[in-house]
């Protein structure tokens, strides 16, 4: 049998290229999965911070209403320094009513903390509503 000396050369090259392509695709998928996991974790932390900022807004509004000698409702943004969050507080008083000898006003407070721009990846918003009477 007269066979050329290198008839099977080149069989390893397509296999090596295939393995490199598969490994590169796998590495790309793992990097993408890791990135998504990190972004999700960061947004979870930002969500918890936004909740605390909104809660601080509710507590601020409640304190403002309790400290006023005349029952009133403050509707303003609190002077809170909570970067990167902006906190908007609204307060709606009810009509005063008599409860025995006391006049009672119920306050409905809504506090919204936001960070980032809507539609962006890092946008976070939390809203808390609370009611209390004085």
φ, ψ for residue 37, nearest 5 deg: -65, -40
- Residue 4 has what pLDDT? 62
- Residue 54 has what pLDDT? 93
Angle (nearest 5°) at CA 47 between 40 and 107? 160
- Residue 113 has what pLDDT? 93
Q: Are 74 and 91 in contact (CB under 8 A)?
A: yes
- Residue 123 has what pLDDT? 92
In the chain, which stretches have pLDDT less than 50? none
Q: Are 74 and 134 in contact (CB under 8 A)?
A: no
Sorted by where each begins, the domain ranges of the chain are 12-133
Q: Is this prediction's pTM over 0.75?
A: no
Q: Are 75 and 89 in contact (CB under 8 A)?
A: yes
- Residue 122 has what pLDDT? 86
Tokens of 3: 């066979």
């Amino acid at each position: 049998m007269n066979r050329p000396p290198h008839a099977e050369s080149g069989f390893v090259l397509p296999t090596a290229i295939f393995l490199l392509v598969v490994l590169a695709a796998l590495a790309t998928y793992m990097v993408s999965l890791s990135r998504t996991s990190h972004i999700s974790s960061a947004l979870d932390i930002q969500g918890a911070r936004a909740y605390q900022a909104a809660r601080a807004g509710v507590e601020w509004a409640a304190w403002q209403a309790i400290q006023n000698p005349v029952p009133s409702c403050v509707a303003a943004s609190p002077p809170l320094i909570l970067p990167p969050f902006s906190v908007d507080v609204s307060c709606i008083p009810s009509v005063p009513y008599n409860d025995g000898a006391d006049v009672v006003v119920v306050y409905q407070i809504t506090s919204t903390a936001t960070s980032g721009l809507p539609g962006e990846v890092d946008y976070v918003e939390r809203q808390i509503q609370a009611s209390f009477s004085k």
